[in-house]
Chain A
Amino acid sequence: MLASATARTLSRWSRPACSVSSRSYWKLTRTSLPPRHPAERPTAEQLNEQSENFHQKDMIFRAERVKQPGLPVQVLMLTDVLGYGPRGQILTVRNPNIARQELILPGLAVYARPENIADFGPGVIPEDQLVMSTVRGRATMRTLLHTPLPLSLHHENPWTVTPEIVHCAFRRIQFQVPIEVIELPDTPISGPDPDKQGKEFLIHVTINGVERVPVRVVIHHLNPEDAKANRELGWQHRFREPLFEEQREALAMLPRPPISQKTAEKEGFRPILTQYQQWAERRQARLRSLIPPES
């Protein structure tokens, strides 16, 4: 248990440079009391023995990793980033890991320290002037940006994508999105069409009449007899062709859900991981290019 935990910590997917140091400790609890009589205690030879049959009850511990949550961090945006704010905005990001990976390391924001704010010059927008409907609404916006929506449609019966069908698709991924706030592309999307299978397009959802959020939608032809079958592992990370060519750029700039270590270690996921890394570098370079040179 301990050996595998150590291996995971030092694995290449957890490089210290990509993560904020956090305080955590391993809590080990005995599952049974050690023997009281000296004659019952294991000898040195037995302790050194690596045999699989050797099984000492009192040497078995229950290991629990206790993590202390990271503190929220204040950042100053250097460019407009969807889901965070415009250039010059000071805002608090609750998860320091996300702030570091998505904003600080790519160079899209800096820590909102007095020196950085002074260096930025005019145009700093204080946090209390952040335009948002509600705190939760803003968090929902960031979640929707990262969440691709699977749109399952019948594989044989004719269909046309309507806001009602998209509303039902949102409910499947545990989102309540009223029908009237869903904006579909101007071109109607009909099927069934094998050419459209697995392709993605962009819709917009307006939260509380304030935040207009683009959402990635993936078309999937569904056989109702397999309605309860689990989707393929890592489907939300796969790269797909856009349904409309004019939406290619917007879809490429849309954030993608982060890849967990469990998903990354799955067999056959290496090409997708490589694609993800290349996409992340291109996107960050594009966002950095929008930063004015004097900042």
Chain B
Amino acid sequence: MLTLGRGVWRSACHAPMTATWGPAAVTWPVFFGSGFHTCAILERARRGTRERKAKVAIANKKKKEDRLRRHPPPLPDKIVLKLKSMGLPVTPKPLRADESNKSFATDDVYQLFRYCYQRYEFTEAVRMMRIHFSPEVLDRSDDLIYAKVEVNMKLPKQGRYMDEFNKYVAIVHRWDDTVLEKRICAFVPTEELEAEALAAGAIMTGGPELIQNIMKGRVDVAEVDHFLCHDELAATMRTMVGVLREKTPLKGGDSVGTNIKKMIQVFKSGMEVQVRKVKPSLVAPNEPDYAFAEIPIGKLTQDPEEMRANLDSALDSLLEGQSKKASGGFITRLILKLEDGPFYTEYSIDHPLLSDEKLRNHQKARSEQIQEPIRETTGS
């Protein structure tokens, strides 16, 4: 069939032609009765076929991406040479420390890269950091200590991973008195809960009446930093989106729950922790199960027990709602560090909430006094 294109058909359909019958010369659109069609509408498949094929194409694309992620193609030679000239590694260094070929050191003096990294006790790590940043050496004794929490984002289902998320964690012992506490408004259904919320530190509490007053503009909520809501009133929060906008407590978030007292404590003197993944690039490999969060836990001059309480509270909050069925645990490593501090001032610590299989096996073997085979590497 001759196809002349869409333009030809349209121009053929709508080309005005002068007819010679009738009282006067009138321009009528004349349709050719040629018997062939050139429009593209007749070249595509049926809708059901298109939908079925699109589904297959998306599934194939996903399989290909997964295959390329697990077996990436080799880099072109030009890029390899450029990376070498820039001093960058050709194969990106793994984000997690690879300890599969290493064991724990048995000597008291050893080179760090040959063995598994040492997990310090919390107080000991803080003491070492204080020496590093003392006035005699680096002179940053009043800086903030961060706990870098490395997490495992794997879901129980094979090949599925969690997305990045934010979480509000409570600061039990504050290190900066100049930062003001947040103002909280709590929506609760009963009067007992209202009293509990006020005792916990909320500046405003109420039930459906308060919600109505806010909707009608009778109550000024401009000074409120956070709005919290009990589960029973969560359904009514959708109507407040227009008034409260991004502060609206919605179901599924941290601002809706049953334990109002704890929520108020978290939001009043807490902070938002962001758990972020690492984007794959030339220097960072593609590891969708790796994510990390940096949580400030206190100042170097603060009491270590207060810092430990802050860390425990932050880790408890992060672990809330995490799947226990996922393999490998959630929190895989804890590192104490200062912002922009040298690498040798970072100390990994042991913690009861840590899922560190290597360490637990080593501790178990030591307690049973089983001789572990010593494995060490010649390089990092």
Chain A residues packing against B (C-beta within 8 Å): 31, 62, 133-134, 136-137, 140, 143-144, 152-154, 157-160, 164-165, 167-168, 171-172, 174-178, 181, 205, 207-208, 222, 224, 227-228
With both chains docked as a complex, state the minimum distance between the C-beta of A142 and any C-beta of chain B, in angstroms.
12
Q: Which residues from chain A contact B136 at a C-beta distance below 8 Å? A: 153-154, 157-160, 165
**Contact assessment for B344 and A171 in the assembled complex, using a CB-CB cutoff below 8 Å:** yes
B17 contacts partner chain A, Cβ-Cβ < 8 Å = no
Q: A62-B77, A165-B131, A171-B344 are in contact. Are A176 and B139 (CB under 8 A)?
A: no
With both chains docked as a complex, state the minimum distance between the C-beta of A171 and any C-beta of chain B, in angstroms.
5
B246 contacts partner chain A, Cβ-Cβ < 8 Å = no
Query: What 10 pairs across the A-B complex have the smallest Cβ distances?
Result: A159-B136, A157-B135, A207-B109, A174-B112, A172-B344, A164-B131, A137-B107, A171-B344, A224-B138, A177-B109
Q: Mark B46-89, 1 if CB is under 8 A from A, else 0.
A: 00000000000000000000000000000001000000000000
With both chains docked as a complex, state the minimum distance between the C-beta of B123 and any C-beta of chain A, in angstroms.
15
Residue in chain A with minimal CB distance to B134? A165
**Contact assessment for A136 and B131 in the assembled complex, using a CB-CB cutoff below 8 Å:** no
B113 contacts partner chain A, Cβ-Cβ < 8 Å = yes
Q: Which residues from chain A contact B376 at a C-beta distance below 8 Å? A: 136
A178–B124 Cα gap in the complex (Å)? 12
Given A136-B106, A136-B376, A222-B137, 14 more A-B residue pairs with CB atoms under 8 Å apart are A31-B77, A137-B109, A140-B110, A143-B111, A153-B137, A154-B137, A165-B131, A165-B137, A168-B344, A174-B111, A174-B112, A175-B109, A176-B118, A207-B108
Q: A31-B77, A136-B374, A224-B138 are in contact. Are A178 and B131 (CB under 8 A)?
A: no
Q: Which residues from chain B contact A176 at a C-beta distance below 8 Å? A: 105, 108-112, 118
**Contact assessment for B132 and A168 in the assembled complex, using a CB-CB cutoff below 8 Å:** yes
Q: Chain B interface mostly helix, strand, loop or mixed?
A: loop
Tier of interface size on chain B: 20 to 34
**Contact assessment for A181 and B109 in the assembled complex, using a CB-CB cutoff below 8 Å:** yes
**Contact assessment for B110 and A136 in the assembled complex, using a CB-CB cutoff below 8 Å:** yes
A224–B137 Cα gap in the complex (Å)? 8
B342 contacts partner chain A, Cβ-Cβ < 8 Å = yes
Q: What are 18 inter-chain pairs, A to B, with CB distance below 8 A?
A: A133-B107, A134-B107, A136-B106, A154-B139, A159-B135, A159-B136, A159-B137, A160-B136, A164-B131, A165-B131, A165-B137, A167-B131, A168-B344, A175-B112, A176-B109, A177-B109, A205-B109, A208-B107
Residue in chain B with minimal CB distance to A206? B109
Q: A224-B138, A228-B342 are in contact. Are A208 and B108 (CB under 8 A)?
A: yes
**Contact assessment for B137 and A140 in the assembled complex, using a CB-CB cutoff below 8 Å:** no
Residue in chain B with minimal CB distance to A174? B112
**Contact assessment for A174 and B137 in the assembled complex, using a CB-CB cutoff below 8 Å:** no
Q: A136-B376, A176-B118, A228-B342 are in contact. Are A168 and B137 (CB under 8 A)?
A: yes
Q: Which residues from chain A contact B137 at a C-beta distance below 8 Å? A: 152-154, 159, 165, 168, 222
Q: A134-B107, A178-B108, A208-B109 are in contact. Are A172 and B342 (CB under 8 A)?
A: yes
Interface centre among A144, A158, A205, A208 (most CB of B within 10 A): A208
A134–B106 Cα gap in the complex (Å)? 9
Q: Which residues from chain A contact B109 at a C-beta distance below 8 Å? A: 137, 140, 144, 175-178, 181, 205, 207-208
A224–B132 Cα gap in the complex (Å)? 11
B203 contacts partner chain A, Cβ-Cβ < 8 Å = no
Q: Which residues from chain A contact B105 at a C-beta distance below 8 Å? A: 176
